[in-house]
Structure formats: C-alpha cells, structure tokens
Amino acid sequence: MPNINPFLWFDTQAEDAARFYVSVFPNSRITTISHYGEAGPRPAGLVMTVAFELDGKPFIALNGGPHWKINEAISFVIDCADQAEVDRYWGALTADGGKTHACGWLTDKFGVTWQVVPSGFIELVTSPDPVTAARAMASMQQMIKLDIGALRRAVEG
C-alpha cells in the first residue's frame, strides 16, 4: 500500500494550524518547515509547507493562498478511549472560535472538521440487533458532543 497523507490547504495559517494540532495531540511534532523562495508564487520567506505528525501519522499543511477553502466534506475521526478523552479533544478543538455540529462533529478555528468518537460508539450504532442500533442512533442524533454513557443508557432502554 502506498503512503497516503492528508494535505491541508490554508491561505497563510499553515504553521499556526500545525503548531496548534501538535499541541492538542500527544506524540506529535513538526518535522519540516519550508518557505517560498524568490521564484514565488507567494512572497519570498512566507511559510510554504509544514510537515507534521499527529501521534505518528504524517500530515502536510500548505500556505497555498485564498483560492481554495477547507470544508466539512472531509473530516478526521478521533477514536477516543473514553469519555474523558472525548471531553479533552472536544474542548481543545472547539477553543478560540471552533464550532460544534450535531452527532460528535466539530470544526476547529482553522476550518478543519473532526469527528470525536468514544470507544464503543460504532459497535452500538451498527449493532446487528436492530433495537440496539435504532436506540443508539436516535440518542446520537440528539447529541452535539457524543456521550458514551448516555448512548449506553439509551440502548438499555
């Protein structure tokens, strides 16, 4: 399998975004920062790309200009071990202008969309038992931030 790495297009916020993400996720770091040279197409010295890792997974951020915008059609799923981890990521990624959406989705201050998902959630909403799946789905659809305890209580009736 070839390496497939997310490549995020920003206007001028690539370095700020990368620094923010590596502060949120453990075992993360910036690996390389490159700058535009005299040949352009952006001003010489402006950060061009930032290569970074989030818990060992490679990402690249580009200061490509205002032509393209990140949108909600692409999101990153954070599989959380427990509710405390959901709460931590939710708080960090919605800070300073992030926006919450329904069903565990949020958009951070840089416009990147995330799904913050507690362990056990997928098993509940995809349960082979139709009653369990329906109860979990109905409960999830009423939530903004996912709450695994509330989902389990809903499944139990």
Per-residue pLDDT reduced to its tens digit, 83-102: 999 999 999 999 999 999 99
Mean pLDDT for the chain overall: 96
3-state secondary structure of 121: helix
Report pLDDT for 18. 98
Beta bridge mates, 100: 106
Residue ranges of E strands in 15-54? 29-35, 47-54
Domains of the chain: 1-68 (3.30.720.100), 70-157 (3.10.180.10)
Report pLDDT for 100. 97
pTM of the model: 0.92
Percent of the chain at pLDDT > 70 equals 100
User: Read out DSSP for 126-143?
Assistant: T-SSHHHHHHHHHHHTT-
| Residue found by looking up tokens 């998902």 in the block | 117
